Amino acid sequence: MEKTRIFGASKTKSLISDVMQKKNTSSGVARRLKPSFSGLDRRYDVDTAGTIDVAILETFPYEYPGKDVVINIETDEFTAVCPYSGLPDFGVIKINYVPRKRIIELRSLKYYLHSYRNVGIYQEHAVNRILGDLADSCRPKWMQVIADYNVRGGVHTVATAERGKRRER
């Protein structure tokens, strides 16, 4: 399993190092700042995208080809990690699609999404990767994946990717 090390910003690490070694700081400042900066140089291990388990995805035949049905799947248990900070990103994944001949088996989908748990991947890349893997597994007429991430640092992100053409009703 490949791992990538995530490091804090170099300026922060340099300041922490100076404070810890009491370089260019008065001893009083160093004593006061040491607890404040403790842990900011922490490293986190994250998995690479190679650990995403695409092979776990299973499909089964759609028994009504030619009769369009929109399948909506939603889970609020999606987790990946930011490749920059190593901190977790939690979100809701919504998958909407019109099957052609195959339907995604839900248990396998849950395991597939769970394989992202420790993967360092940007939010916008995750939604495109999920769309690509799912569309390749079931070859739908149309598919949309929406990743609605929890607010972090005061910022709310919703990323949407789509493939194919949805027939208007």
Closest CA to 158 of 132, 127, 131: 127
- Asked if residue 28 and residue 58 are part of one domain, the reply reads no
- Asked if residue 111 and residue 138 are part of one domain, the reply reads yes
Over residues 25-84, the pLDDT tens digits come to: 555 555 555 566 666 666 678 899 999 999 999 999 999 988 999 999 999 999 999 988
Q: Span 89-104, mean pLDDT?
A: 97
- Asked if residue 58 and residue 13 are part of one domain, the reply reads no
Q: Looking at the 3D structure of the chain, how many domains does it have?
A: 2
Q: Tokens 């995403």: give the residue.
A: 52
- Asked if residue 146 and residue 89 are part of one domain, the reply reads yes
Identify the pLDDT of residue 145.
98
CA distance to 23, 69, 70, 98, 119, per residue, from 73 (Å): 56, 13, 10, 12, 22
Q: Is residue 85 part of a domain?
A: yes
- Asked if residue 121 and residue 72 are part of one domain, the reply reads yes
User: Which residues span the domain enclosing 19?
Assistant: 3-42
Q: Is residue 116 part of a domain?
A: yes
Over residues 102-153, the pLDDT tens digits come to: 999 999 999 999 999 999 999 999 999 999 999 999 999 999 999 999 998 8
Identify the pLDDT of residue 141.
96
Q: Is residue 22 part of a domain?
A: yes
- The CATH number given to whatever domain includes residue 110 is 3.30.1130.10
Identify the pLDDT of residue 153.
84
Q: Is residue 169 part of a domain?
A: no
* Residue with the larger pLDDT of the pair 22 and 115: 115
- Asked if residue 143 and residue 99 are part of one domain, the reply reads yes
Q: Is the pLDDT of residue 156 over 90?
A: yes
Cβ of 35: how many Cβ atoms within 10 Å? 8
Identify the pLDDT of residue 89.
93
Vertex 20: Cα angle to 17 and 23 (nearest 5): 75
- Asked if residue 99 and residue 20 are part of one domain, the reply reads no
- Asked if residue 65 and residue 35 are part of one domain, the reply reads no
What pTM was computed for the model?
0.76
- Asked if residue 33 and residue 9 are part of one domain, the reply reads yes
CA distance to 12, 44, 48, 165, per residue, from 117 (Å): 27, 14, 11, 31
- Asked if residue 96 and residue 22 are part of one domain, the reply reads no
Identify the pLDDT of residue 1.
52
Identify the pLDDT of residue 15.
44
- Asked if residue 62 and residue 9 are part of one domain, the reply reads no
Q: Which residues are catalytically annotated?
A: 82, 89
Q: Which residues pair with 4 in a beta bridge?
A: 46
Rounded CA separation 81/64 (Å): 39
